[in-house]
A and B are shown apart, each in its own frame.
Chain A
Amino acid sequence: QVQLQVSGPGLVKPLETLSLTCTVSGGSISSYYWTWIRQPPGKGLEWIGYIYYTGSTNYSPSLKSRITMSLDTSKNQISLKLSSVMAADTAVYYCARTYSDSSGYPRGWFDPWGQGTLVTVSS
């Protein structure tokens, strides 16, 4: 059974870079998309972007200038970096395995999800 574990600092200072890692156990990162999603406290879900196991990426237009996603296949890990953070970036951050269709495009099917980690941006 595939499980995802999100790890990283729970507190980041304004203007610094938020770095999170999603570690996949019980399966390989190959053949899947991996999506990052966040949820500010008390608010709705926001799609951040995804990375394919080949390394190709697609980011939310509103965050594109500040996001970097990468893979470490040897460690079965997916990483998210968000630069120049501000209070509005305070959220629970999730990673999720994402299924693709027969043409290799991502579907909106996320399973499983990581447990989510709260990152607070504050000085």
Chain B
Amino acid sequence: SYELTQPPSVSVSPGQTARITCSGDALPKKYAYWYQQKSGQAPVLVIYEDSKRPSGIPERFSGSSSGTMATLTISGAQVEDEADYYCYSTDNNGNHPNWVFGGGTKLAVL
């Protein structure tokens, strides 16, 4: 089955740049999406189609993808960015694509 691999945790100081990676074999051909989930809340989309930012998401959130790795970057991370982050994508099975979430990365800003 298809898998997306994320680091379990990332830690930065306020104002630093946080980078969260997501590795998957189909990422060269499939978009990555990134969700932020704060404790007790439903996830919120912060990046779609590798690098696009939905309206209302701060400019400090950006995304990129190269080869089999997608990256979520938070430039100038703030305390309120502490959350779990999940990448989401699909495999290359055209008729019945298998969508998966990465295991999630807990971002600490302290």
State in angstroms the CA–CA spacing of A50 and B90 once bound together.
Answer: 13
Contact B86 A45 (CB under 8 A): yes
Residue on A nearest B90 in the bound complex, by CB? A108
Within 8 Å of chain A (Cβ to Cβ): is B98?
yes
Contact A61 B98 (CB under 8 A): yes
Q: How many residues of chain A get a CB closer than 8 Å to chain B's CBs? A: 21
State in angstroms the CA–CA spacing of A45 and B6 once bound together.
Answer: 13
Contact B45 A44 (CB under 8 A): no
In the complex, which residues 2-46 of chain A have their Cβ closer than 8 Å to any Cβ of chain B?
A: 37, 44-46
Contact A94 B101 (CB under 8 A): no
Task: State the majority secondary structure of interface residues on A.
Answer: strand
Residue on B nearest A108 in the bound complex, by CB? B33
Contact A46 B45 (CB under 8 A): no
Contact A108 B99 (CB under 8 A): yes
Within 8 Å of chain A (Cβ to Cβ): is B43?
yes
Contact A44 B31 (CB under 8 A): no
State in angstroms the CA–CA spacing of A65 and B75 once bound together.
Answer: 43
Q: Which of B32, B42, B88, B100 contacts A116 (CB under 8 A)? A: B42
Contact B98 A44 (CB under 8 A): no
Shortest CB-to-CB span from B56 to chain A, Å, is: 11
Residues of A within 8 A of B (CB): 37, 44-47, 50, 58, 60-62, 94, 106-111, 113-116
Beyond A44-B104, A47-B101, 8 extra complex contacts between A and B, CB < 8 Å: A44-B86, A47-B88, A50-B99, A106-B99, A107-B31, A108-B99, A109-B45, A109-B48
